[in-house]
Amino acid sequence: MKGKSLVSILDYQVEEYLQIIQLASEFEALKHQNILHGKVVGSLFFEPSTRTRLSFESAVNHSGGRIIGFSDSNTSSSTKGESLKDTILTVANYCDLIVMRHPHDGAAKFASEISPVPIINAGDGANQHPTQTLLDMYSIYKTQGKLDNLTISLIGDLKYGRTVHSLLMAMMNFSPKFNLVSPKELCLPVEYKKILNAHSVPFNEDTDLHTILPETDILYMTRVQKERFSDPIEYEKNKNLYVLKSSMLENTKDNMKILHPLPRVNEISQCVDSSPKAYYFQQAKNGMFTRQAIISSILGLI
């Protein structure tokens, strides 16, 4: 991992997933507290994402590093017409590693080609957001004590949800069973189903959330957004079908945990929050430990 950019979840293999998870747990146990001392991380948010930015900033701050950068393109030189290439080459002079978020697909890949320092992709348009996937995996590991042989149910927008696609691609290495529950119009794209089939990963597509709940270990909820539907009537028909309520948790497994990449709108009703099965806020906290692990590994400090 040392010196290598992290652009896509497929840049890492099983061994690296496990290494990041192990390191994240060490950071959580407050080891390596000043490991980033003397390091400067560039944080380039060409589009705003407060949640992700704060997670990275807290990861750097909690490890004794410093962070420079901008939080949206209105305050950055790109609004003055500076090319992405020029911004990256300039900022790379001032830091040891660049974390970047960009509205366009493939921006981080391009940056990683030209940058003299490693790039961490904090989201490139609708394409990749690998640190989210790694924190999801850490959350799965932490709550289940393993990654293998789990029944993982993914709910909501499976067509456009990049976190869903990346999680499928990463977790398919650990003998899972996937339940894919979505409105017909937002079902998993066929290219991902082909990959699952090619690896003989069992999956079951469903439009009903209730049937899959009793066997689920990890319930991964996502937003169903109105603008994703070509027909507003379809949205109206579907909008309440993929909402989790506390009454639905009755027949679920004791070890089941509910994950969500956040921000949530209404797909998990507030009454679920007090359930011990609700895990999405701890999941966000795990993001900080995971990002500490990723940054330290890429900088070759661990």
Partner 1 sequence: MSTHIQGKQLNVSAIKNGTVIDHVPSKNLFEVISILKLQNIDSQITFGSNLESKKLGSKAIIKISDKFFVQDEINKIAILAPQARLSIIKDYAVVEKQKISVPEYIHGITKCFNPSCITNHQNIKPKYTVLADNPISLQCFYCEKITEQEHFDFI
Does 104 sit near partner 1 (CB under 8 A)? yes
**Residue range at the interface with partner 1 (CB under 8 A); choices 82-90, 177-185, 268-276, 281-289:** 82-90
Among residues 127, 143, 151, 290, the one that binds partner 1 under rule CB under 8 A = 127
Vertex 102, ends 98 and 108: CA angle to 5°? 55
Phi, psi (rounded to 5 degrees) for 40: -120, 125
Tell me, yes or no, if 53 is annotated catalytic. Answer: no
What separation in angstroms does the CA of 276 have from each of 56, 233, 256, 271, 272?
27, 36, 9, 12, 9
Site string for partner 1, 7-36 (x = CB under 8 A): -x----------------------------
List all residues 6 or more positions away from 107 whose beta carbon is below 8 Å from its beta carbon: 46, 84, 100, 124, 125
- Three-state secondary structure call for residue 191: helix
Site string for partner 1, 131-170 (x = CB under 8 A): ----------------------------------------
Contact 92, 270 (CB under 8 A): no
Q: Of the listed 32, 52, 223, 290, which one is catalytic?
A: 52
Contact 40, 156 (CB under 8 A): no
Contacts (CB under 8 A) with partner 1, residues 181-210: 191
Q: Which residue number, 104 or 253, has a Cβ lying nearer to partner 1? A: 104
Residues labelled catalytic: 51-52, 80, 101, 129
Contact residues for partner 1 (CB under 8 A)? Answer: 8, 83-85, 102-107, 109-110, 124-128, 191
